[in-house]
Amino acid sequence: MSRIVCFGEVLWDVFPTHKKIGGAPLNVALRLNSFGDDIEMISSVGDDAEGEKLLDYIASRGLNIDGIQINNQFKTGKVNVILDTIGSATYTIEFPCAWDHIHLNDESKKIVKNADAFIFGSLVARNNVSRNTLLAFLKISKYKIFDVNLRTPHYTMKVLSELMQLADFIKFNDDELVEICEQLAFHSTNIESNIKFISKATNTTNICVTLGKKGAILFVDDTFFKNSGYIIEVKDTVGAGDSFLASLINKLLNNKQPQESLDFACAVGAIVASKNGANPEIMDKELRKFIKV
């Protein structure tokens, strides 16, 4: 069992017909928690009904909410989500909101310092308050996992470059990888070449790139590991990448081999994409359709 801190946005995903609790770091935290890891979530919600409901939900799922601040100046975050005919999502993210103002304090610094790993994304760095808190945490964390999560217009290459330089492990999707490489003046259509470029440019030896229905590629210490994906009927891609990352990190931190870790993560991600919602329950019998568990 690993002790892991997830830092960043907790919010409501608002669909045309309903709303669900989400935020990439929270989705990752919930999936890691389901595997039995010791998880702390550091974030902020508003002093409002939506924030109260969110805290109640997180606590009901067995996560410690001590690291989630309550902000009486900014509202709990919301994201408007639209799904297209094949289940892919587009997002409109409200700004500013409570998770843009996560403040540094002694208790949270202690939580981060004592953790085995610290997982963060790029979206939380869109505002200087939370970004400065993030940078302070990165100075004291033991193992830093960067989940690149590009949401236009909420990022700049300057911030992304700084965060990549500070990370020990970086996860992209294929579009994000190509966009960032091109912004750094490296132009290639080859995924492996792009990964090697990022590895050299950022001095990061552990990189993972998800490829949608085509699976994922994992780069560990100059070696590539690949999974070509699993055939499923997509219902909702929201949260699939978050569950993929949580599953991969869970296995790697527990010293499983990279290929085994990647296969497990792809299976979990596929199952999540085949269900509605970002955090569906996953049974061992579902995983056995794809891999041995």
HEC letters along the chain:
CCEEEEECCCEEEECCCCEEEECHHHHHHHHHHHCCCEEEEEEEEECCHHHHHHHHHHHHCCCECCCEEEECCCCCEEEEEEECCCCCEEEEECCCCHHHCCCCCHHHHHHHHCCCEEEEECHHHHCHHHHHHHHHHHHHCCCEEEECCCCCCCCCHHHHHHHHHHCCEEEEEHHHHHHHHHHCCCCCCCHHHHHHHHHHHHCCCEEEEECHHHCEEEEECCEEEEECCCCCCCCCCCCHHHHHHHHHHHHHHCCCCHHHHHHHHHHHHHHHHCCCCCCCCCCHHHHCCCCCC
Flag residues of the chain having pLDDT under 50.
Answer: none
Fold for domain 3-287? UDP-N-acetylmuramoyl-L-alanine:D-glutamate ligase (3.40.1190)
Report pLDDT for 69.
Answer: 97
Residue-wise pLDDT for 86-140, tens only, equals 767 788 999 999 999 999 999 999 999 999 999 999 999 999 999 999 999 999 9
Domain ranges for the chain = 3-287
Report pLDDT for 87.
Answer: 66
pTM of the entire predicted model? 0.94
Residue 32 CA to chain centroid, in angstroms? 11
Report pLDDT for 276.
Answer: 74
Q: Shortest CA distance to 208 belongs to which of 171, 258, 263?
A: 171
